[in-house]
Amino acid sequence: MAARNDDGSVSGQMAELKRAASERAGLDDFGGLFFEGPLAAWIEDLNHANLNDFGRKFLRRLAVRDLERRLKVLDYFRTHPEIGDVEIPPILFVTGSPRTGTTLLHHLLATHPLGRSFLRWELMEPLPPPVSRTYAADPRIARLQSSIEPLRGSLLERMHWVNADEPEENAWGFIDCTGLLGCGVRPAMPTWSQWLSDHDLRSSFQEYRKMVQLLIWKCPPPDGGHLVLKCVMTTLWVRSFADVFPEAKFVITHRDPFRALVSSCTAGDAICQPFIGEPPGPLFEEGLRGQDTFNLQKRVLTALKDFAGAEPQRARHVLYSDLMDDAVAGARSVYEHFDMPIPGDLEPRILGYLEAQRGGRRAAPPRKLDLYGYDHRVVWEDPVVAEYREFFGLRPEQTRLSDTRTGK
């Protein structure tokens, strides 16, 4: 095990976090060192005064747990090399700019009887690997659900809620400190956020490919089936993901960038508020200040446009407005585009999912969002946004469209 290091430097604090993880796991082989880059950035942010005591302690524990999981997963791969022989089936990969309907579409496509998505509980606790026979009743489901139930009634539930037994983002399954808290805490961790924006995550995707093999090893899709995956927090590196996963076909959602932008700020604010020292928080009036969220969004929009132009045969594009208008038709269009079998009961499957949402599975979204200092005309006329919306034929969302899951 690593020796104790009380040095207050970033390297000293990193050694201490690794030591704590090693003690918890009883292991000390961390594998490749790519994870140390994002971990160092995370540690720098832990030292910033913007975090409150709860936030600093919680986010530190989060890093230790992520390192512990890394140790255990890598050790499991070493002791079960046959996992590397698991064949990865075709993948429907949902992505896009954040807050453009990706979660809804991901959940709709996951209703396909031949589809296998990764649920939140198994991404967060992949060991022991899920087994088909006990999958639906795994005790990890109840354990995780009980830990998130206290957040019911919060703004977070109204903006983005995923139960333990629902499909979740790939990032929750990353094991190299690039997916901490699903990347949702980026506004409160600016150094870490910038690191993620500046570094190609190909290494993360390569390790995640092994995680995919682990999760389907004893719990594969049905015969002739496919995986239904999703991640918007890594869309900036969509080309690298496509290289690492040649099995993937991409389902890309598009929405009025202004509406997606202010929704992203609201969701980020909801996630970060418990961790920051005092209101109003890092996103207050951001549109009048640094515009960090907008600048990142523009890089993502450019990445999507470039990918669509480079590999048009691998992508199906779905407009948020169309999805809100007719969710069944939106899902059907994906299957038709990729010549996939369409379930005979597609409509009742999707409508059943929507009805469950309206029945209280999650809270209704807010009727009105803060604009965070952003102006629709300024965003809409930005040269990068203009090129993106013209490329994909987007129309302005004059009135914020409601999520069809709530019926409001």
pLDDT of residue 361: 67
pLDDT higher at 362 or 92: 92
pLDDT of residue 24: 98
pLDDT of residue 153: 82
> Is residue 406 assigned to a domain?
no
- Residues 168-198 have pLDDT tens digits of 999 999 999 999 999 999 999 999 999 999 9
Q: Give dist(CA 259, CA 232) in Å, integer.
A: 16
Q: Are residues 201 and 288 in the same domain?
A: yes
Question: pTM to 2 decimals?
Answer: 0.94
pLDDT of residue 406: 44
pLDDT of residue 4: 44
Identify the domain containing residue 9 by its residue range. 1-79
> Is residue 401 assigned to a domain?
no
User: Has residue 217 got a pLDDT over 60?
Assistant: yes
User: Has residue 224 got a pLDDT over 50?
Assistant: yes
Q: Mapping DSSP to helix (H, G, I), strand (E, B) and coil, where does residue 318 land? A: strand
Q: Give dist(CA 21, CA 2) in Å, integer.
A: 10
The structure tokens listed for 103 are: 């979660």
- Which residue is it, tokens 């890594």? 234
Looking at the structure of the chain, the number of domains it has is: 2
User: Has residue 6 got a pLDDT over 70?
Assistant: no
Q: Give dist(CA 294, CA 288) in Å, integer.
A: 11
pLDDT of residue 82: 98
Q: Give dist(CA 175, CA 65) in Å, integer.
A: 10
Q: Are residues 153 and 275 in the same domain?
A: yes
Q: Are residues 18 and 106 in the same domain?
A: no
- Residues 138-153 have pLDDT tens digits of 999 999 999 999 988 8
Task: Find out whether 29 and 70 touch, Cβ atoms under 8 Å.
Answer: no
Confidence category of residue 252, pLDDT binned at 50, 70, 90: very high
pLDDT of residue 151: 85
Q: Are residues 170 and 264 in the same domain?
A: yes
Residue 110's closest CA among 320, 290, 331, 406? 331
**In sequence order, what are the residues at sequence separation of 6 or more whose Cβ sits closer than 8 angstroms to the Cβ of residue 206?**
244
Identify any residues that bridge with 254 across adjacent strands, giving them in sequence order.
319
Per 3-state DSSP, the chain is made up of helix, strand and coil in percentages (nearest 5) of 60, 5, 35
**Which CATH number does the domain housing residue 360 bear?**
3.40.50.300
Q: Give dist(CA 173, CA 302) in Å, integer.
A: 26
Q: Are residues 68 and 144 in the same domain?
A: no
- Residues 256-310 have pLDDT tens digits of 999 999 999 999 999 999 999 888 889 999 999 999 999 999 999 999 999 999 9
Q: Are residues 364 and 289 in the same domain?
A: yes
- Helices first, then strands: H and E counts in the chain: 17, 5
- Residues 356-404 have pLDDT tens digits of 888 766 777 888 899 999 999 999 999 999 999 999 999 999 776 765 5
- Averaged pLDDT, 300-329: 97
DSSP string, 264-299: HHHHHHHHHGGGBSSTT-TTTTGGGTT-HHHHHHHH
User: Has residue 3 got a pLDDT over 50?
Assistant: no
CB-based burial label for 392 (10 Å; 0-12, 13-18, 19+): middle
> Is residue 408 assigned to a domain?
no
> Is residue 326 assigned to a domain?
yes
> Is residue 398 assigned to a domain?
no
User: Has residue 110 got a pLDDT over 80?
Assistant: yes
Average pLDDT over the chain reads: 94
